Each structure stands twice: as C-alpha cells, then as structure tokens.
Structure 1
C-alpha cells in the first residue's frame, strides 16, 4: 500500500499533483473495501481544472 501525501479536502496546486493523488488513491484502494468514487471524482475534477487553467488564461 502506498503512502499518500494527499489529504482529503486539500487543494492541489497543479495537474501533476492531482495526477499523483489519483495514482495514490488507485494504488491504495482496497479491492474488498469498495471504491472511493466520491474522492476519485473530486480528484478528477481538480485535475481537469488544473489542465485547463492555462487554456482559460490564454483565451
């Protein structure tokens, strides 16, 4: 099981950090304990916001 630097509810500064948090979540998920879908969706939203921030600024 990986040790995650991610703290639920914290704000991730960029896409790289969001991606790392997603990987940590997937790596640490217990297959018998269910899937943390709400946290996964929250991290995906943070990643999407971070990856499109530059596009918004350029527009």
Structure 2
C-alpha cells in the first residue's frame, strides 16, 4: 500500500473550504496573524484543488 493517501478521497467541496475561509476572515477581523496567514494559504490551495484550479501566493 502507498504511504501517501489518495488526494481525491480527502478533497472537501469548494463550498466547505470557502466556508472555512470566510470563518477565518471573520474570526480575524480582517487582520490575519502569521498563523492565520499560513492557514489561509493552505485553505486557498485546498479550495483550488476542490475547484480544479490552481492557487498562487500573493506577490
């Protein structure tokens, strides 16, 4: 068995990830801490995977 789980089995819907992104922004009051920024970047990548797109970091 492969040590890496199949990504398709762990992909949440884009709507679920979007809810988490909205909650993060609401919880942070619009000012992301470094920890929140890490979570936000992770959520963007997860959202892109759920929508079939790609996420890029802000420049």
**TM-score, with length taken from structure 2:** 0.59
Gap regions ≥5 residues in structure 2: 1-9, 54-59
Q: 2:11 touches 2:49 (CA, 8 Å); kept in 1?
A: no
Matches within 5 A, 1:15-54: 15-30=14-29, 34=33, 36-52=36-52
Q: How many residues align?
A: 43
**TM-score, with length taken from structure 1:** 0.59
Give the direction of change, closer, same or farther, for the CA distance of 1:51–1:40 in structure 2 (3 Å limit): same
RMSD of aligned alpha carbons: 2.6
In 2, distance between residues paired with 1:43 and 1:32? 16
